[in-house]
Structure 1
Amino acid sequence: MAQHTAAAGQETAVSWDGIPVAPGDHLCALYRGPTERDELVRPFLADGLRAGHICLLLAAPDDATSFRETLAAHETPSGDGPSGRLQIKVPQDGYLEDGAFDGDRMLRRMADWSAEMFHGHDGDMARLTADMSWAGPLLRPAFIRGLIRYEMRVAPWLGSYPQVGVCMYDLEVFGGDLIVPLVKAHAKIWVGGRLVENPYHLVG
């Protein structure tokens, strides 16, 4: 896939919880409860909308509705329609399109989405946030293996365009059976207000 870089002079500065991050970064944010999640997601996406960045949120339906109402005030005039600056999708739009998790299909969907946003709609920066709380009831050994395999393959896609991706996992929902292998799938981990480089990162 051809690399796409931001146009010269375009503002691409991005931060997560006040900490600078770079295009291509794939972060794992470990938080506790919906209040902390909201305090992280809302400024991240609102700042992006004000900067004219494409913002995509993947979340459970109830959470998606709440975020859409909150973030609508920060939308730009170019945000009307399905290819607007603010886009919100639910698991059934990709992760669970036919009722079962398929990481390969999801990666294809996201690669197509990026190509459309950056080539078809002249995007110069994208912020993507995926709150994975919806996966709590699905935790089984086979599902965990598939999810970890998927997470390990996200970074190359993110690095193909000027994008920052944050996968969010609630420590009140997920235990060590998922979190321990999950951490190894991310080069950077946010937890407790700190963003740390992960020395145990494994490339898929």
Structure 2
Amino acid sequence: MTKQVDVDALAAYLRELGPIHALVNNAGGALGVASVEDSDADDWIRMFDVNVVGTKRVTSALLPLLREAIVEGDTATILMVTSIAATVPYEGGSGYNAAKFAQHALTAVLRLELAGEPIRVIEVAPGMVKTEEFALVRFGGDAAKADTVYDNVPDPLVADDIAETIVHALELPPFVNIDLVTVKPVAQAAPHKMIRGELKPR
């Protein structure tokens, strides 16, 4: 999604398949945990290219197809998967925070620009989600470091939990728009506050 030629090919392919009613921009990829001062600018460029520019490319390419699919009384939906990193900064987040804050702003601006059209713009912002790739990518392939992120965390979210949230948002009546839903495991109070071990009443 970082190459315009590939995005154009996707749009052409989807046009041949028939109408599309929803676009889910599921960008991701945190690179490193270095500070603003010490982080690699190339990592920032990559994170912005994937999370922000990639989202813009795909949205621009598919908006005409979404408009074509709208029939009277119906809506189209653009759903952005961002992160709690898009609204709450944390140490070790630097470039990822910056990219996700930008994607969050892109989403809000798009909602304003599309006002008056029957197009919903929804944002789903996950917290900790245990997947095979996210922490591994962030730590440059160091599996031991990646595993420590989820160590002893009771019931971290998994990809299916986010998928269910997305499906629920898309299946709501066409006049219902969820601007922003934040989804975290109960053990996570904030990006920087994670409870490890058993959760129990005081």
- TM-score, structure 2 as length reference: 0.33
- Higher share of residues assigned strand: 1
Give 1 or 2 for the bigger CA radius of gyration. 2
- TM-score, structure 1 as length reference: 0.32
